[in-house]
């Protein structure tokens, strides 16, 4: 298996025209459903049909720890990563609740949590744990590469393997890892050239002094990895095991023409890496929300993405993707089930 799959551009002007005509012919004024219409068009293009239907949606939450966390870049200790993985699996986390509410199958992947998560049997319908550990957390990127090239490649392959084993045609992205807003900030700064001050935010709740300390550590990480400028090199030097695993998952989902529902800042960083490796990746993505984390707006600009929601969220976990999920279902139902002027016997707009 080649590390980076071939992902062709979705370039189907004929299908786009048919989809737009179908949307415009529904019993409503032109454009009256606003951005839901653009979403319906995108979903039809991704799935290659005028009557898109979403089935067996899969929420994948990737978890890992980061050497940078020891430098005080988060308001929480690293052990919270391990504790929250247990919370996901027990059904008590926000994403667990939202996944249950919306019928999303939840898979939690231990990609490199410092304290190994014990295997457990999952009851039918309960969250499932996947072990794909590369190591017990990354190295401290402020002193050199966070992971080796081999470790990065293994995490990418792990992400691809996970998605290959999942049913359905939709992948929703989530993550957990104390310190991973630092990783997202570093990747945005390095791959998009955004000033680090515009990439660095409060994360789990740092105050102004904490943000300044975090930015100083991240400056050290960029300086310690000056030669890591390509997407794979930057991912290995600055990234985390969960971000690399998610990037692999995104590449696989895109190659299978699944709908990819992106959560917030960290999952967007995984998409940014994947897009640098395969430029057609964002065509398969729906960006669920604009988070309250400082760098996310700049990340969305870099990806030319218009998110569906803006609720000031900054939890991560996949919570924003789960909250946006009903909009995707509604957009598909409108395309499939809403009557046209002709089928309903309703007079259309008068010619001007």
Residues classed as catalytic:
317
Which residues make Cβ contacts (< 8 Å) with residue 198, sequence separation at least 6?
294, 295, 298
Of 176, 208, 328, 321, nearest in space to 262 by CA: 321
Pick the closest to residue 217 from 67, 9, 65, 13 (CA basis): 67
**Separation between Cα atoms, residue 300 and residue 228, nearest integer Å:** 23
Main-chain dihedrals φ then ψ at residue 59, nearest 5 degrees: -95, 120
Report the half-sphere exposure of 25 (CA within 13 A, side-chain side). Answer: 17
Contact between residue 259 and residue 193 where contact means Cβ atoms under 8 Å apart: no
How far apart are alpha carbons 106 and 226 in whole angstroms?
Answer: 38
Element holding 60 (H helix, E strand): strand 58-64
Longest dimension (CA), the chain: 70
- Token pair listed for 229: 């400028």
Give the DSSP H or E segment for 244.
helix 241-255
Nearest-10 crossing angle of helices 180-192, 231-238: 150
As a whole number of Å, the CA-based R_g of the chain is 20
Reduced to 3 DSSP states, what percent helix, strand and coil does the chain have, rounded to the nearest 5? Answer: 50, 10, 40
Phi/psi of residue 245, nearest 5 degrees: -65, -40
61 by DSSP, 3-state: which? Answer: strand
Q: How far does CA 230 lie from the centroid of its chain? A: 21
C-alpha 317/C-alpha 81 separation (Å) is 11
């Amino acid at each position: 298996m080649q590390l980076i799959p071939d992902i062709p551009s979705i370039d189907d002007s004929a299908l786009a025209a048919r989809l737009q005509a179908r949307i415009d012919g529904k019993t409503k004024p032109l454009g009256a459903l606003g951005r839901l219409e653009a979403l319906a068009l995108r979903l039809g293009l991704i799935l290659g049909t005028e009557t898109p239907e979403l089935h067996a949606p899969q929420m994948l939450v990737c978890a890992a720890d980061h050497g940078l966390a020891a430098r005080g870049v988060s308001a929480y200790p690293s052990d919270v990563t391990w504790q929250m993985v247990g919370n996901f699996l027990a059904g008590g986390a926000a994403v667990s609740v939202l996944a249950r509410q919306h019928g999303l199958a939840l898979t939690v992947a231990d990609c490199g949590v410092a304290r190994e998560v014990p295997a457990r049997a999952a009851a039918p319908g309960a969250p499932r744990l996947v072990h794909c550990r590369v190591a017990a957390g990354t190295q401290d990127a402020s002193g050199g590469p966070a992971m080796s090239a081999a470790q990065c490649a293994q995490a990418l392959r792990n992400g691809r393997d996970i998605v290959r084993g999942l049913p359905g045609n939709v992948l929703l992205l989530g993550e957990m890892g104390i310190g991973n807003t630092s990783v997202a900030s570093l990747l945005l700064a390095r791959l998009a050239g955004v000033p680090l001050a515009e990439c660095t935010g409060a994360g789990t709740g740092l105050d102004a002094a904490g943000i300044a300390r975090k930015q100083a550590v991240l400056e050290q990480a960029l300086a310690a990895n000056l030669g890591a400028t390509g997407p794979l090199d930057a991912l290995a030097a600055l990234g985390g095991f969960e971000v690399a695993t998610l990037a692999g998952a995104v590449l696989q989902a895109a190659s299978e023409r699944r709908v990819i529902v992106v959560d917030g800042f960290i999952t967007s960083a995984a998409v940014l890496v994947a897009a640098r490796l395969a430029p057609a990746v964002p065509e398969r993505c729906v960006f669920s929300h604009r988070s309250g984390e400082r760098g996310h707006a700049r990340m969305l600009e870099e990806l030319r993405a218009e998110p569906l929601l803006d609720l000031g969220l900054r939890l991560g976990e996949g919570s924003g993707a789960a909250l946006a999920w009903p909009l995707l279902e509604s957009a598909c139902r409108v395309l499939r089930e809403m009557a046209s002027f002709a089928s309903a016997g309703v007079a259309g707009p008068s010619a001007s």
